[in-house]
Structure 1
Amino acid sequence: MTVTTDLQSIRAIPKPRARWEGPSFILCAAVVTGLLSLLPLAFVLYVALTSGWQAIADLVLRPKVGTLLLNTSALLAIVLPVSAVLALAFAWLIERTDIPFARFWSWIMVAPLAVPAFVHSYAWSAFAPRFHGLGAAVLVSILAYLPFIYLPIAAQLRRLDPALEETAQSMGKSPPIVFLRVVLPQLRLAIMGGALLIGLHLLAEYGLFVLTRFDTFATVIVDQFQSVGNGPSTNLLGGVLVLLCLILFGLETRLRGRERYARVGAGAARSRRRSTLGRWTWPALTLCGSFALLSLAVPAWTLLRWLASGGAEIWRFDFILPALGQTALLTLSGAALTTMAALPIAWLTVRAPSRLQKLLEAAHSYVGALPGIIIALALVTVTVNVYLPLYQTVAILLFAYVLMFLPRALVGLRTSIAQAPVELERAATSLGRPLSAIWHTTIRLAAPGALASAALVGLGITTELTATLMLAPNGTRTLAMRFWAHTSELDLAMAAPYALLMVLLSVPLVVLLHGGADRMGQA
């Protein structure tokens, strides 16, 4: 391997604009999925046009909407950078230093994903009843969603070639300069993708913010629907959320840049040396331990208290077992379908960036910012007016899951495909049968990321509530639906078994997600 002495060569190489060279099937599949993803937006626009401009002005240009905009902006402005900095610090400590029990801490950083966000919020509401408002919303959001950005950063850190950093150090560059000019640019895709995913969750989250008594667009939309039904105000507020999502997506795309991060070969064939913490060992352990206590100990303590107070009578297996089976079946089916639907646009994003690709990616991503109730309303309207037999069927419910969780699948797939060298794909494609070439090169190399993306989608489906309530066939009662029904009646003891089972059902998905991130980092 030839090592250049020019520090500029260590930086990521800008990727030239690509013309379309891939199979037309991939482009067609991405276009079809993108058009289907536009259904909720078409619904919102239809309501806006039929309402008239005066009605739009009366409903949207109100002081309440301004307050919601400030609340949402403040939430994003605090949670995203704090989560990125903390995730980067945790990943660096665990992957690059001699911190004791590094493997244990790597699991701790991912474990909060097994606890649904609204269970985090319920736990903190019980633990500190007076803790509410922006501060509570920020804390619980960071505790619940930080793993979304930690995982890709940690995986990318494991993959980086140590020779790049050693070359910079041999040129007399200090460790901070090496980190800022060599390491951090190669983490940009992971940081931006994770931050986008957290931002979309913050825009669409309902249960977490209801319990922390912090008003956002999502909470007001759901509250208005429950009080006045499917009115214009509900849908026009959904349109504001769409605009916020597009702004967030545009910022992420601009900051992400056009660099390529793949390498051919395994890099330096030796173990990476870990930095010695020395006197900073205890502060590092304190930081990791504090996160574990806040994100895991508080929910565990609250859940155990609910279970102990309820006794044996809360275990109604005639209700629990059907809810568990239905949740597991919907989770597996929805995760597989969503991951397959996201594959074409993920490939286009990495291999053939263009204006059309950016539009398609935006169409795939914006739905992640819509509350489930907006997507459900759109699908209810379409099925009732176009093809009634689809209304309240498993097919339309799974379709809603695909729309809602496409951004989750897309972020992980995009990162894993970006790490698969394009040279191998082009060499295989030159032999003919491009689809087979892509399958046997890029897709196989990206398989760990695909499994991790499916697990990430499954975690979301396991705890999804609002869309499931509106679209599920009669008789469907998932764990999340049962949990919410009991907590709405303040029967926390009866809700405890469903919360526990959601956690237990999520544990294998978290293990798969963590394992997929490990394999991506070692690829």
Structure 2
Amino acid sequence: MAVRTAVAARALRPGPLVTTVALLLVAATFVPLGYIVSTLFSTGFHETAQLVFRPRVGELLRNTVSLVVITVPVCLVLGIGLAWIVERTDVPGTAWWGPIFAAPLAVPAFVNSYGWVSAFPSLNGLWAGVLIATVSYFPLVYLPAAATLRRLDPAVEESARALGSGPIAVFVRIVLPQLRLAILGGGLLISLHLLAEYGAFAMIRFSTFTTAIFEQYQSSFAGAAGSTLAGVLVVLCLVLLAGEAAARGNARYARIGSGVPRAATRVRLGINKIPVFLLLTAALVAALGVPLWTIIRWLRIGGAKVWVMDDIGESLGQTIGLAATAAVVTTLCAFPVAWIAVRSTSRFARIIEGANYITSSLPGIVIALALVTVSIRWLPALYQTAATVLAAYTLMFLPRALVGVRAGFAQVPIGLEEVSQALGKSRPVTFLLVTLRLTAPAAASAAAMVFVAVATELTATLLLAPNGTRTLAMRFWSLSGELDYAAAAPYALIMILAAVPVTYLLFTQSRKAAGL
């Protein structure tokens, strides 16, 4: 029996075709890094050094690092603080605050910037960037922190309180260490978003590496200066990835033993209930109230004339077409990588999976520049075609699909596949009839996340889109760049409405992960 099981397990492992496809995907993911390295080598050491060690790069480095160093701690404090208040106190409306604080993820950062700049036209500089980035990205910490708090065994906190520790001491000594993975993971995601964001910071006239690269691209295509800036940005991304991996270590936080999960006893706020409620309301107003109020205000000012239905319909149609195609392609590409990652524990499997995460951490502008250069030099027929745009989307958002598909594969009982093959079904038929059917719900969720990400993507689309392409994000950016904020409002509203279902999906998945 043991021999039969081992043979069946080997038969269920990915075959040569799946492995080959996965290797081709890995090779594609290294195109952006290869582009940067080859460009720097062709530029030469002396010229590269001159381009790197100049005042402009120092200014961009100072701006970008300052933005990360200030924004990430602020988002951590806000996200963890809100999660603790919602999950551990008796603040009024606890059932509503959870989905409400996930909702800001439905508002793209450049739409948030549009909202704040419309309300406060003088907003610009570093602190404006910190404000807009904080209200845009703190849910990336809030969601995992809230999910972790729901999973924690409340007995440990209750024991600490019984020994005389107050709520603050319990939080610092007991709860906070358990949030380490949420803190590191959320902090890394926010940092990478800050390095990649273009529209939000361009609108408030705050220069970062990404805005400078885009400006350099517009002034001198594929110039050495732009490539050098991209190289520095890639180094910053890799430093963040290495730092997060080192800080995370191999620590594990999990309950050991049986038991029925139960809700923790909520801390009674007493007279502090009103100021805490006002704090939550202020966070809600900053993250959702300002952009939504601005959009409604501009829609009211513009009236019916801003609803140019032919233009809106064309933009919506192209957005749906690109996003749907990218979602399908990206999710299909995730299948071979997820299959190898789940069915193998080898170093090869870890490399296959990890390569995709490294490349996706690079800003979209770096990936776009690499694909532009490759298509012009070696594949001119693909330059400014939908295929190049879809390739960029796949490289950028493959990990979003991979997370969902991998989870789906992990939940497929191997025994069912063994029974199918024992009944004479071939491996492809077994995959279609058993594996694919069981992973379909997770794959659909992954595709939905990719769909919304593509529908609101701006930087790579601006660089790669063929002539005549008019996505919602592109039209919004074009009109807001002309200071026609009223005409841009319908596009902003439609993008938010498109993102709401997936945002709610993320919230419900976080609750399922916590066993609620």
TM range (shorter): 0.7 to 0.9
Match of 2:211 in 1: 219
Q: How has the CA–CA distance of structure 1 residues 132 and 329 changed in structure 2, closer, same or farther, with 3 Å as cutoff? A: same
Decide whether the 8 Å contact of 1:113 with 1:459 is kept in 2.
no
Check whether the contact 1:334–1:461 (CA below 8 A) recurs between aligned residues: yes
Q: What is aligned with 1:65? A: 57
Residues 1:374 and 2:366 are matched in the alignment: yes
Residue 315 (structure 2) aligned to one of 299, 317, 323 = 323
Structure 1 residues 267 and 223: alpha-carbon distance in aligned structure 2, compared to 1, 3 A threshold: farther
Equivalent position amino acid for 1:460 in 2: A
1:478 to 471, 476, 488: 471
CA distance in structure 2 between the aligned counterparts of 1:283 and 1:339, rounded to whole angstroms: 45
The CA distance in 2 between the partners of 1:411 and 1:106, in whole Å, is: 23
Distance 2:397 2:281 in 1: 31
* Deviations 1:354-402 (CA, angstroms, capped at 9, x unpaired): 8766755653234345443332222123233433443333333222112
The 1-side partners of 2:339 and 2:277 are apart by 39
The answer to whether residue 458 in structure 2 is matched with residue 465 in structure 1 is yes
In the alignment, is the contact (CA less than 8 A) between 1:203 and 1:218 conserved in 2?
yes
Deviation of the 1:487 alpha carbon: 1.6
- 1:141 Cα offset (Å): 0.1
- Aligned position for 1:492: 485
Residue 279 and residue 359 in structure 1: after superposition, are their counterparts in 2 closer, same or farther (change >3 A)? farther
- Mark the CA change 1:464 to 1:66 in structure 2 (over 3 Å): closer, same or farther: same
Alignment of 1:14-413 (within 5 A): 23=13, 31-166=23-158, 176=168, 178-180=170-172, 182-261=174-253, 267-339=259-331, 341=333, 363-408=355-400
**CA deviation profile, 1:238-271 (whole Å, cap 9, x unmatched):** 1111100000001111122223456688842544
Report the CA distance shift for 1:269/1:121 in structure 2 as closer, same or farther (over 3 A). Answer: closer
Q: Which amino acid aligns with 2:485?
A: L
TM-superposed CA distance for 1:113, in Å, is 1.6
Does the C-alpha gap of structure 1 residues 429 and 319 become closer, same or farther in structure 2, counting only changes over 3 Å? closer
- Among 507, 511, 516, the residue aligned to 2:504: 511
Report how far residue 111 of structure 1 moved: 1.5
Moved more, 297-306 or 398-407: 398-407
Paired with 1:45 and 1:431, the residues of 2 have a C-alpha distance of 49
Deviations 1:176-204 (A, max 9, x none): 55544553344322322222111111001
| SS class of match (1:272) | coil
8 Å CA contact 1:249, 1:362 repeated in 2? no
Closer/same/farther in 2, CA of residues 348 and 520 from structure 1, 3 Å limit:
farther
Q: Return the alpha-carbon distance in structure 2 between the equivalents of residues 160 and 427 of structure 1.
A: 32
Kindly tell me: are residues 166 and 447 of structure 1, through their superposed partners in 2, closer, same or farther at Cα, counting changes over 3 Å? farther
Distance 1:358 1:130, change over 3 A: farther
Q: Distance in 1 between matches of 2:332 and 2:169?
A: 41
Compared CA separation, residues 123 and 71, structure 1 to 2 (3 A) = same
Q: Shift of the alpha carbon at 1:87?
A: 0.8
**Matched AA of 2:470:** R
Q: 1:286 to 1:356 in 2, by over 3 A?
A: farther
Q: Which moved more, 1:214-223 or 1:28-37?
A: 28-37
Contact 2:222 2:373 in 1 (8 A): no
Identity score, percent: 47
Structure 1: distance between partners of 2:188 and 2:281: 27
Q: Return the letter of the residue paired with 1:89.
A: G
Aligned mates of 2:178, 2:130 — CA distance in 1: 28
Query: Matches of 1:68 and 1:113 in 2, distance apart?
Result: 27
Structure 1: which 5+ runs fail to align?
1-19
CA distance in structure 1 between the aligned counterparts of 2:53 and 2:97, rounded to whole angstroms: 48
Residue type of the alignment partner of 1:69: L
Deviation of the 1:352 alpha carbon: 7.6
CA contact (8 A) 2:104 2:288 kept: yes
- Tell me by how many angstroms 1:89 deviates: 1.0
RMSD of aligned alpha carbons: 3.7
Does the 8 Å contact 2:147/2:511 carry over to 1? yes
* Aligned counterparts of 1:134 and 1:227: Cα–Cα separation in 2: 24
Partner AA of 2:51 in structure 1: L
Contact map agreement 1:197 1:411 (CA 8 A) in 2: no
Instruction: Calculate the TM-score normalised by the size of structure 2.
Output: 0.84
Distance 2:492 2:186 in 1: 26
Residues 291-300 or 153-162, more deviating: 153-162
Report the count of equivalent residues: 498
Partner secondary structure for residue 522 of structure 1: coil
Q: Mean Cα displacement is larger for which, 329-338 or 45-54?
A: 329-338
How far the C-alpha of 1:220 sits from its partner, in A, is 0.3
| CA–CA separation in structure 1 for the residues paired with 2:194 and 2:31 | 22
Are residues 267 and 209 of structure 1, via their aligned partners in 2, closer, same or farther at CA, if it must alter by over 3 Å? farther
User: Which deviates the most, 136-145 or 289-298?
Assistant: 289-298
In the TM superposition, residue 405 of structure 1 has moved relative to its aligned partner by: 2.4
- Paired with 2:93 and 2:40, the residues of 1 have a C-alpha distance of 55
Instruction: State how far apart, in whole Å, the 2-side matches of 1:78 and 1:329 are.
Output: 38
Give the Cα separation in 1 of the matches to 2:239 and 2:340.
21
**Whole-angstrom distance in 2 between the partners of 1:342 and 1:193:** 21
Measure, in 2, the Cα distance between the counterparts of 1:374 and 1:108.
34
Q: Which amino acid aligns with 2:208?
A: T
For the Cα contact (< 8 Å) 1:347–1:417, is it kept in 2?
Answer: no
Q: Distance in 1 between matches of 2:22 and 2:334?
A: 8
Q: Which runs of 5+ in 2 are unaligned?
A: 1-9, 422-426
Q: Match of 2:3?
A: none
Report the Cα distance in structure 1 between the residues aligned to 2:192 and 2:306, rounded to whole angstroms. Answer: 35
Do 2:13 and 2:340's aligned partners in 1 also have CA atoms closer than 8 Å?
no
